[in-house]
Each structure stands twice: as C-alpha cells, then as structure tokens.
C-alpha cells in the first residue's frame, strides 16, 4: 500500500508553480491574512448567511488555493457573493482574515478576467470611477447607471423608490466635487504605480 507521501510524489501536480498560489493570495491581502493557518474546520461556511448561493464555501475555496487550483478558484462566485458581514471572521479559530481574502480574490479575478457575471465588478468599477472623478460618491448616478446597464427591465419598478428619494431630496441630482481633487488624483495615481511595482 502506498503511503500518502508516496502518492503525492508519484502524481505531482501538473503545474508545480501554482503551489505558490496560497502564498500569493496571502501576500496580496491587507494586513497579515493568516490564510496559511486555515485548519479546514468549516466554521466559516457554517456561519455564512450567503453560503447557499456560493459555488464553494470559504473553507473549500481556501483548500483549492492551497491545492493550486488557480483557474477554478478565480472562477468561483464565492468572493462576489460574500457580503462582508464578518460573521466568519470573528468565529474563525485561526483568525484568518477571511473577508479580506475575498477582496483579494476579487481583484485577482478582475485582473485575470475570470469572473462569470460582470454585474458586481462593473458596479465596483462604476463606483470607483465616480469617486476618482469627484472624491465623493453619488448614489443617484451610480444606482441608475448601474440599473440601466444590468437590470433595464427592472428600472421602471425601481422608479417609485428613486422618485421617493429624489422628492425627499435624499439623492443629489449632481455630484459634489472635493476641493482637493487634484491632490486625490495624484495620490491615487502614485498608489497605482506603487501597486504595479510591488
């Protein structure tokens, strides 16, 4: 009978270099992710309100990262379904920064163009474009632009809500711009350069 160790050496993974995937994800996560410390207990999936809609539980996803399954992990809808509720984070016995790892996986999926449905990345990008342009977010422009693009048929249904918010003056019709927008743009430009170089 083969031992586990022999099995592993007799059938090496096809792409050895991908065994660095776990480290790469961990390295790209803010703070000390502790992803390497995951003991596969499953407490995260069991605590997750969105688990039913996920392709993989966080635990499974982290096992896939460890196994170097880059493509499958970046294709998973799990990070996009995560609502950042931090239930798993406070329960994880290993103190893995689960929600932040999800952000990292989103950004890696965007880079690799490996997400299946563009709604969420598009929403984030629209939001970020607005913030980069004005320094402030602008809910009305954001929501309508987004709905027009992704749920045009829903827009008429949402109109009463939009009108309600508008008529109560709870949505700005035009965005405000901060005074230091040039400063902010310079900071973000530099940040992108630093990111590219690191």
Among positions 16-35, residues that touch another protein (CB under 8 A) are: 28-32
Binding part of the chain for another protein, among 1-9, 11-19, 35-43, 81-89 by CB under 8 A, reads: 81-89
* Contacts of residue 50, Cβ cutoff 8 Å, sequence gap at least 6: 81, 82, 83
Among positions 114-173, residues that touch another protein (CB under 8 A) are: 119-121, 123-125, 127-128, 131, 135-148, 151, 154-173
Residue 112 lies near another protein (rule: CB under 8 A): no
Of ligand SF4, another protein, none, which one sits near residue 92, judging by CB under 5 to 8 A according to partner kind? ligand SF4
Binding site for ligand SF4 (CB under 6 A): 38-44, 47-48, 50, 58-59, 62, 82-88, 92-94, 96, 98-99, 102, 137
Of 7 and 193, the one with the shorter C-beta distance to another protein is 193
Of another protein, ligand SF4, none, which one sits near residue 38, judging by CB under 5 to 8 A according to partner kind? ligand SF4
Of 30 and 37, the one with the shorter C-beta distance to another protein is 30
| Least gap, CB of 68 to another protein (angstroms) | 22
Of 7 and 53, the one with the shorter C-beta distance to another protein is 53
Q: Which long-range contacts (CB under 8 A, 24 or more apart) does 60-65 make?
A: 61/105, 62/35, 62/38, 62/96, 62/101, 63/38, 65/21, 65/22, 65/25, 65/35
Of ligand SF4, another protein, none, which one sits near residue 187, judging by CB under 5 to 8 A according to partner kind? another protein
Alpha helices of the chain — where are they, by DSSP H? Answer: 4-10, 21-27, 43-47, 58-66, 70-75, 78-81, 87-91, 98-111, 119-134, 139-150, 155-167, 181-197
Cα 127 from Cα 141, distance rounded (Å): 9
Size of the site for another protein (CB under 8 A): 87
Cα 94 from Cα 34, distance rounded (Å): 8
Of 9 and 84, the one with the shorter C-beta distance to ligand SF4 is 84
Among positions 29-68, residues that touch another protein (CB under 8 A) are: 29-32, 49-50, 53
Task: Decide if 54 contacts 80 (C-beta within 8 A).
Answer: no
């Amino acid at each position: 009978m083969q031992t586990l160790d022999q099995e592993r050496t007799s059938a090496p993974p096809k792409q050895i270099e991908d065994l660095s995937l776990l480290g790469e994800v961990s390295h790209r996560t803010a703070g000390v992710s502790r992803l390497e410390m995951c003991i596969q207990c499953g407490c995260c999936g069991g605590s997750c309100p969105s688990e039913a809609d996920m392709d993989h539980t966080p635990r499974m996803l982290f096992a896939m990262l460890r196994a170097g399954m880059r493509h499958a992990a970046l294709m998973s809808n799990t990070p996009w379904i995560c609502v950042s509720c931090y239930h798993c984070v406070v329960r994880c016995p290993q103190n893995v920064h689960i929600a932040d790892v999800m952000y990292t996986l989103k950004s890696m999926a965007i880079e690799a163009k490996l997400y299946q449905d563009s709604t969420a990345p598009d929403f984030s990008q629209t939001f970020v474009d607005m913030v980069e342009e004005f320094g402030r977010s602008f809910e009305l422009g954001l929501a309508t632009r987004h709905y027009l693009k992704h749920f045009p048929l829903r827009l008429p249904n949402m109109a009463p809500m939009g009108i309600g918010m508008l008529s109560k003056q709870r949505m700005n019709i035009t965005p405000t711009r901060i005074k230091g927008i040039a400063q902010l743009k310079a900071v973000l430009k530099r940040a992108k350069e630093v990111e590219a170089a690191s």
